[in-house]
Structure 1
Amino acid sequence: MNRKILFILPLFLALFSFLGKNNGEIDETKPKKNEPVFSKVVYNGNDDVYKENPLKEGEFYNPILQGTYPDPAITRKEDDYYMVCSSFAMFPGVPIFHSKDLVNWKQIGHVLERTSQLDVTNAGISRGVYAPGITYNPNNDTFYMITTAITAGMGNIVVKTKDPMKGWSDPIKLDFEGIDPSIFFDDDGSAYVVHNDAPKEALYQGHRVIKVWEYDIEKDQVIPGTDKVIVNGGVDLAKQPIWIEAPHMYKKDGSYYLMCAEGGTGGWHSEVIFKSDSPKGPFIPSGNNPILSQRHLNTNRENKVDWAGHADLVKGPDDKYYGVFLAVRPNEENRVNTGRETFILPVDWSGEFPVFENGLVPLEPKLEMPEGVENKTTEEGYFPNGNFTYEEDFSADTLDYRWISLRAPRENFIEKDKNGLKLNPLETNINELAPTSTLFYRQQHNNFSFSAEMNYTPKFEKDLAGIVCLQNENFNYVFGVTKKDKDYYLLLQRTEDSKKTILASKKIDYKGDLQLKVEADGDQYKFSFAKEGEDFTNLGGTVSGDILSTDVAGGFTGSMMGLYATSGNNAVPN
């Protein structure tokens, strides 16, 4: 037989087989990707506290990072300040900020931005990266970021860089248990790691200890056998203090200081300080502990700020000390939807021990600026605070660092489009413990609106795209468009403790363009939509933001709004 016929015959047979199975038509039973394009997003924050307390010359707002940016740690090299925060299962991990003056901050990226550095693929949102510490070592001109990764067997890790603007190394796994590590570099070149750990024998619920290890800078590892308990329980073990954690060590005037959080990251949170002649102790507590807390104050105080603690100290540009720490701003129902945020206060270290200035009285929304500093937080590129509007049309070459995903890189599902940003739907949905095709922006105010312009036409009942408000995988709202039979429906689904309820659904006739919006007035949330050329229409009435609060949903994160798409939808219209 002719060689050409032998070569071509199998191709004809394969084609004949395909046509026989499909009658020469495309198999419509197989799902096809259906990709929404988001062309414009507007976030507007409008809290009363900022309207009632406008800035005067020489003032700036506190918190300096609004929204879920908890557990701040800070370091300094010459005139450059770098600050990091916890990120849990958010990806990329550990947001990092830069400032020249402690007032005006720019986000320069994330420390853990590669999958080789962080695996949170199947982690619950409050797992992942806990309490990072960042320290500059002048002895070798190197920055260290050390943290606990509660995921994928990572444990305690350290990454390094000569320049935080240029990325960080892959992680080095450290050989010790416990959480909340930080590194201290002494003048003589020696180094130490301090961290929270379990006691040999727990005396009560919440009993923890602080340990110190000698650290080998050449091997980047703690030195076996050098560990020592330097704080047992807290300031006074007889009072059964709980959750001594987040330790940081400092040296001043030849003495060593150990500052820790105590009381748990809630209503009893505080910051305490100890002193020693040696980094290995014994450490003696200050007689004026706590040096920062809001726990003893009137619970009904105006413009309430609470849960203050988990702090770190740095010397400012005016040669005065400052402390960054976490705290929360509850809404009128005393619920925490914006999460634990990053605040700052000046610190008086004129005496033997440092004390946060006005850290034991109700925290004010404004602070005086360090001498010679100009407030630039309203200018392009600087992280905004107070009331502000953020608009995004996704036309820039790079995505703003404030947009994050969960459990996997954003690049797995986003794609730049001539009309905006395209989301390639994954088969997972927002309630699954897996990566989803959702691009998140943190809620930064108790009173806010978040609107998105979307072009999308679902083709199958498993298709849905829209916006979500999420506290975690078991507590969230989904507001989007899907298909039922041959009709298009807009629906609002509430998930509370994994139980899903369709609060409202509406059959709509539209041509693909839709605006979706969520508005919050404290605990009251409203979802609305607008077809092209029409006004917004509410769907589902007013709903409670309770499931978006830490006190109801649990965990360590705040609420986030997301641009959402899925080809695995299980929310069915009524």
Structure 2
Amino acid sequence: MKKIKTIPLVIIAGLLSLGVHSQKRQKNSPVFSEVTYTGDDQVYKDYPLEEGEFYNPILQGCYPDPAITRKGDDYYLVCSSFAMFPGVPIFHSNDLVNWTQIGHVLDRTSQLDVHDTGISSGVYAPGIAYNTHNDTFYMITTAFAGGLGNIVVKTKDPKKGWSDPIKLNFAGIDPDIFFDDDGKAYVIHNDAPDKGKELYNGHRVIKVWDYDVEKDQVIAGSDKIIVDGGVDLSKKPIWIEAPHIYKKDGRYFLMCAEGGTGGNHSEVVFVSDHPRGPYKPAPGNPILTQRHFPKERKNKVDWAGHADLVKGPDDTYYGVFLAIRPNEKDRVNIGRETFILPVDWSGEFPVFENGLVPMEPKLKMPEGVENKMGQEGFFPNGNFTYRENFTSKELDYRWIGLRGPREAFISKTKKGLQITPFATDIRELKPTSTLFYRQQHNSFSFTATMAYRPQSEKDLAGIVCLQNESSNYVFGITKKGKDYVLLLEKTEKTRRDREATSEILASTIIDIKKPVQLQVEARGDDYHFNYAVDGSGFKNLGGTVSGAILSTNVAGGFTGALLGLYATSANANGPEKQ
């Protein structure tokens, strides 16, 4: 498979402001020569693709809150990235089926400051729009870090980078920007009700502002509430959010998520004769949801909502949205993913086709489109194997950092990718020297080959499965006296716990004369950590452990599990802590 478009391994300007150290060769730096990720979900074996079909979701793994725009035959899609760095992954397609990642919108420290942010903070719910009047793309989002709040960045070409952020003068979250045919622009977003008017927990409103395109700022005093609570305030709807405005046949349609981003999630729509309202809800709301079906249904897709619409290459509307594919214990380890469905807009209001029945794993492609996913540089989906030997001059965009640039701790060597460890533990709210890959299947294996010689018990390197800084597994090599020790450590903090607790589940003395293979293998909720030396067969360490702490609905937050290549010079727990 050809490599997806990438960025050079260069040191990003501004790293010194984060307090990170240089790339000087250190004896305690592991070198990773190969990584293999293999997805093995049963659903893709039970539903092989036939001619003219493609799999849903189109972006597997933690790619939530999708937003989409179009210029000519080019489609651009962005997703939330929270405290991951770089931020806001951006994808390109010409047909809505085959997607390539062209980079990240916020790829510089001058654009994004998340260095002391919890993993589920950072940047939320981006919107993306193309303004035909000035041939400019806009990405608007909320940055819960660095004191920015709501921001907008711009570009003439999404493939060539984006401006530094422009801070916008309003509160609330989930902003989007709408450009009307007459050149006027509007910003809409979720906000709290006016002071003293909150009626219940989860009561939110949608506001609209006039937007000055020349000054790139909302016009003071132009804010107006256009939706109070949701479709029917008497039913106490919660978390009306993620608004988008569309114009069709001279009328304005406001589409929003409602019900919260969990099991009651849905998409609803309103109509008006003016972008500033008043808006009337459609009588057939919701137009997308999976909340009404039996919990135990096979191949369950759930939590569907947070959608955006675009007209496809066949002149049919399509909607991208988030949803989840939980494992057999209904746990959400993969996270919120990006799905797509055709939208029937032959009547007054848009309706997601098959969005109100249990969703299927396959879709028919738009007329004349060929499925090239996983080929020619296009993103893979279904079951696939991804191999990385780090010999390319450029590193794949799928590898990301947490709270800081990956270029701060990685460097190329003749034997592979070297990670220079920070004096930061995986549990700290600081940039970590960890290169992450998203978990994309409920059943998978992730195998890394590592050469490493720790100098003391403070040194540790290996792989990590991370839901957040308080819920993770570390499978790595450290030193105790003259021995080199492989250990499996669990850190856990459920929603009921006040503090995270760490425990060494198992350890063994290991021979490190030659590179060691470290592997995590999952079958739904059952995770196994295995190792091999001298190219011999894999041995298990720690038996079967539960993946529950790696799930969103146990650990909390908004992200899916990340699989990382990890190194630290500040290891807090050695094998003697058992």
TM over 0.5: yes
C-alpha displacement at 1:533, in angstroms? 2.7
Contact 1:457–1:512 (CA under 8 A) maintained in structure 2: no
Mapped partners of 2:252, 2:441: distance in 1:
39
Q: TM-score, normalised by structure 1?
A: 0.94
For 1:135-174, list aligned pairs within 5 A: 135-174=129-168
Per the alignment, residue 14 of structure 2 pairs with: none
Give SS of 1:399's match.
strand
Instruction: Count matched residues.
Output: 544
Residue 33 of structure 1: how far off its partner (Å): 5.0
Report what 1:285 is aligned to: 281
- Residue identity opposite 2:202 in structure 1: G
Cα drift, residue 270 of structure 1: 0.1
Residue in 1 that maps onto 2:21: none
The correspondence for 1:556, drawn from 533, 555, 558, is 558
- Asked if the contact 1:33–1:424 (Cα under 8 Å) also holds between the matched residues in 2, the reply is no
For residues 249-302 of structure 1, give each alpha carbon's deviation from its aligned partner in whole angstroms, at most 9, with x where no partner exists: 000000000000000000000000000000010000000000000001111111
Task: Specify the alignment match of 2:9 in structure 1.
Answer: none
Distance, in Å, in 2 between the alignment partners of 1:245 and 1:277 is 21
Identity within the alignment, %: 74
In structure 1, what is the Cα distance between the partners aligned to 2:535 and 2:385? 23
Task: Measure the CA separation in 2 of the matches of 1:59 and 1:433.
Answer: 43
Distance 1:295 1:47 in 2: 23
Q: Show structure 1 runs of 5+ residues with no match.
A: 1-30
SS in 1 for 2:234: helix
Name the residue aligned to 1:351: 347
Partner of 1:388: 384
Q: What is aligned with 1:17?
A: none
Match of 1:24 in 2: none
Counterpart Cα distance in 1 of 2:306 and 2:535: 49
What's the CA shift for 1:380? Answer: 3.2
What does residue 536 of structure 2 align with?
Answer: 534
2:504 alignment counterpart: 502
**TM-score (structure 2 length as normaliser):** 0.94
Deviation at 1:69, TM superposition (A): 0.2
Residue in structure 2 matched with residue 377 of structure 1 by the alignment: 373
Q: How does 1:18-417 map to 2 (within 5 A)?
A: 33-200=27-194, 201-417=197-413
Q: CA deviation at 1:571?
A: 2.1
Q: Distance in 1 between matches of 2:397 and 2:121?
A: 21
In structure 2, distance between residues paired with 1:426 and 1:378: 34
Instruction: Kindly report the root-mean-square deviation, in angstroms, between the aligned alpha carbons of the 2 structures.
Output: 0.8
Instruction: Give 1:12's aligned residue.
Output: none
Do the aligned residues in 2 keep the contact of 1:258 with 1:275 (CA within 8 Å)? yes
SS at match of 1:552: helix
| SS at 1:310 equivalent | strand
The 8 Å contact of residues 421 and 568 in structure 2, kept in 1 or not, is answered as: yes
Maintained 8 Å contact 2:26/2:420: no
| Equivalent of residue 481 in structure 2, options 477, 481, 485 | 485
Is the contact between residue 35 and residue 422 of structure 1 (CA under 8 Å) also seen in structure 2? Answer: yes
Which runs of structure 2 are paired with 1:419-434 in the superposition (5 Å)?
419-434=415-430
- Displacement after TM superposition at 1:378 (Å): 2.6
Are the aligned partners of 1:41 and 1:453 in contact in 2 as well (CA < 8 Å)? yes
Query: Whole-Å Cα distance in 2 between the matches of residues 275 and 419 of structure 1?
Result: 60
Q: What are the Cα deviations for residues 416-446 of structure 1, in whole angstroms up to 9, with x where unaligned?
A: 1111100000000100110010000000000
Structure 1 residue runs of 4 or more that deviate by more than 2 Å after TM superposition: none
- In structure 2, distance between residues paired with 1:308 and 1:284: 23
> Which residue identity lines up with residue 56 of structure 1 in the other structure?
E
**Structure 2 counterpart of 1:439, from 435, 440, 445:** 435
1:82 counterpart letter in structure 2: Y
| Contact map agreement 1:33 1:425 (CA 8 A) in 2 | no
- Structure 2: 5+ residue runs without aligned partners? 1-24, 494-499
Corresponding residue for residue 468 of structure 1 = 464
Deviations 1:497-546 (A, max 9, x none): 11001000111233141000000000000000000131110000000000
Q: Supply the distance in 2 between the matched residues of 1:549 and 1:404 (Cα, whole angstroms).
A: 20
Query: How big is the shift at 1:190?
Result: 0.2
Query: For 2:447, which of 439, 448, 451 is the aligned residue?
Result: 451
Which residue matches 1:20? none
SS at match of 2:260: coil
Q: Is the 8 A contact 2:27 2:453 kept in 1?
A: no
SS in 1 for 2:507: strand
The answer as to whether partners of 2:424 and 2:432 remain within 8 angstroms in 1 is yes
String of CA shifts for 1:124-145, please: whole Å, max 9, x gaps.
0000000000000001000000
Cα pair 2:438 2:561 within 8 Å, conserved: yes
Distance in 2 separating the partners of 1:161 and 1:353: 32
**Equivalent pair of 1:68/1:557 in contact (CA under 8 Å):** yes
| 2:560 maps to amino acid | G
Report the equivalent of 2:19: none
How far off its partner does 1:180 sit?
0.2
CA positional deviation for 1:34: 1.1
Shift of 1:402: 0.2
Q: Distance in 2 between matches of 1:378 and 1:468?
A: 26
Indicate the larger mover: 77-86 or 564-573.
Answer: 564-573
Other structure's SS at 2:554 match: helix
